């Protein structure tokens, strides 16, 4: 399988993972958060102490952010094989935003879940954060080359 198809396969698989998480009802989604909190406690990280009664909220929003950070990264890598850097950056952000919108639309039809524009913004910011990191890595790479 060539590089181009492999990268688009990764995008598709990650979109499927996001869809599967999004398709969980409210109770199953909460159980994922409890599992993560349990793992953190095993690692001796008392997240409840840090965030008090906001722990579940922080875990859920961090998951949104991280899912779409990775999604944007994968899209960028796939696009960058055929497009210049600027177009790849812009299109990866656009696709990230559009998939976040479609994800929230999908949640209207899942029991115990609902759409949230705040989640779309958190998802999109996950993508933006990847692009910021990408930008600074490129600046660092260019400085190294110029030396």
For the chain, give the number of residues.
Answer: 147
Taking alpha carbons only, the member of 57, 60, 56, 64 closest to residue 126 is 64
Taking alpha carbons only, the member of 52, 15, 58 closest to residue 36 is 58
DSSP 86-144: HHHHHHHHHHHHHHHHHHHHHHTTSTT----HHHHHHHHHHHHHHHHHHHHHHHHHHHH
Q: What ranges do the domains of the chain cover? A: 3-146
pLDDT (0 to 100) of residue 112: 82
CA distance 32 to 47: 15
Q: Say what the pTM is.
A: 0.85
In tens digits, the chain (147 residues) has pLDDT values of 799 999 999 999 999 999 998 888 766 666 666 777 777 777 877 777 677 778 778 888 888 999 999 999 999 999 999 999 999 999 999 999 999 999 999 999 988 888 899 999 999 999 999 999 999 998 888 877 665
């Amino acid at each position: 399988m060539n590089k181009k198809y492999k990268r688009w396969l990764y995008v598709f698989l990650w979109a499927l993972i996001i869809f599967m998480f999004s398709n969980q009802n409210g109770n199953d989604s909460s159980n994922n958060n409890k599992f993560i909190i349990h793992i953190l406690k095993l690692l001796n990280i008392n997240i409840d102490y840090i965030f008090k009664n906001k722990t579940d909220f922080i875990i859920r929003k961090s998951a949104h952010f991280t899912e779409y950070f990775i999604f944007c990264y994968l899209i960028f890598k796939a696009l960058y094989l055929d497009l210049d850097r600027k177009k790849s950056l812009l299109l990866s952000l656009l696709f990230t935003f559009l998939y976040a919108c479609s994800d929230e639309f999908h949640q209207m039809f899942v029991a115990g879940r609902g759409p949230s524009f705040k989640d779309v913004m958190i998802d999109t910011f996950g993508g933006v954060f990847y692009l910021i990191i990408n930008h600074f890595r490129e600046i660092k790479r260019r400085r190294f080359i110029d030396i």
